[in-house]
Structure 1
Amino acid sequence: MRPTNNPDRQSSGNSAAGSKIASLFICSCIRQPVPRSISSRRYFKGPMKTASHVFIVMGVAGAGKTTLAAGLAARFGGAYLEGDDFHPAANVEKMTRGEPLTEKDRAPWIDALADAVNKASGNLVFASCSALTPGVRRRLRESISCKTDFLFLDAPEEMIARRLERRPGHFMKAGMLRSQFRTLLRPQNAIVIDANLDQEDVIAAAAREVEARLGPQ
Structure 2
Amino acid sequence: MATRNSVFILMGVSGTGKSTIGNRLSEVLGIPFFDGDDYHPEANVQKMTSGVPLTDQDREGWLLRLNELAQAYKSKGAIIACSALKESYRQLLRQEMEEQLEFVHLEGSFELIKSRLENRKGHFMTSALLQSQFDTLETPKDAITVSIALSPEEIVTQVLNQISK
TM-score, scaled relative to structure 2: 0.90
- 2:115 corresponds to 1:162: yes
* Cα deviations by residue, 1:191-215 (Å, 9 ceiling, x for unpaired): 10111101111111112112x2xx4
Higher-Rg member (1/2): 1
- Between 76-85 and 152-161, the greater mean CA deviation after superposition: 76-85
Q: Which of 177, 197, 201 is equivalent to 2:150?
A: 197
Q: What is the deviation of 1:175?
A: 2.8
Q: Which of 91, 95, 101 is equivalent to 1:148?
A: 101
Aligned to 1:90: 43
Structure 1 Cα separation of the partners of residues 52 and 81 of structure 2: 21
**Overall identity of the aligned pairs, in %:** 38
Structure 2 Cα separation of the partners of residues 160 and 137 of structure 1: 22
Aligned to 2:21: 68
Structure 2 Cα separation of the partners of residues 157 and 60 of structure 1: 10
Structure 1 residues 85 and 145, CA gap change in structure 2 (3 angstroms):
farther
CA RMSD of aligned residues (A): 1.8
Q: Which of 77, 83, 108 is equivalent to 2:30?
A: 77
Q: What is the deviation of 1:120?
A: 3.2
Structure 1 Cα separation of the partners of residues 5 and 151 of structure 2: 30
Aligned to 2:139: 186
- 3-state secondary structure, aligned to 2:162: helix
- Between 171-180 and 197-206, the greater mean CA deviation after superposition: 171-180
Structure 2 Cα separation of the partners of residues 150 and 117 of structure 1: 12
Structure 2 Cα separation of the partners of residues 53 and 170 of structure 1: 29
Matches within 5 A, 1:1-217: 53-120=6-73, 123-144=76-97, 147-210=100-163, 212=164, 215=165
* Cα deviations by residue, 1:126-162 (Å, 9 ceiling, x for unpaired): 1110000011001111254661110000100100001
Structure 1 residues 159 and 190, CA gap change in structure 2 (3 angstroms):
same
List runs of 5+ in structure 2 lacking aligned partners: none
Structure 2 Cα separation of the partners of residues 80 and 146 of structure 1: 19
List runs of 5+ in structure 1 lacking aligned partners: 1-50
- 3-state secondary structure, aligned to 1:149: strand
Structure 2 Cα separation of the partners of residues 162 and 177 of structure 1: 11
More contact order relative to length (CA 8 Å, sep ≥ 6)? 2
Structure 1 residues 58 and 127, CA gap change in structure 2 (3 angstroms):
same
Task: Give the total of aligned pairs.
Answer: 162
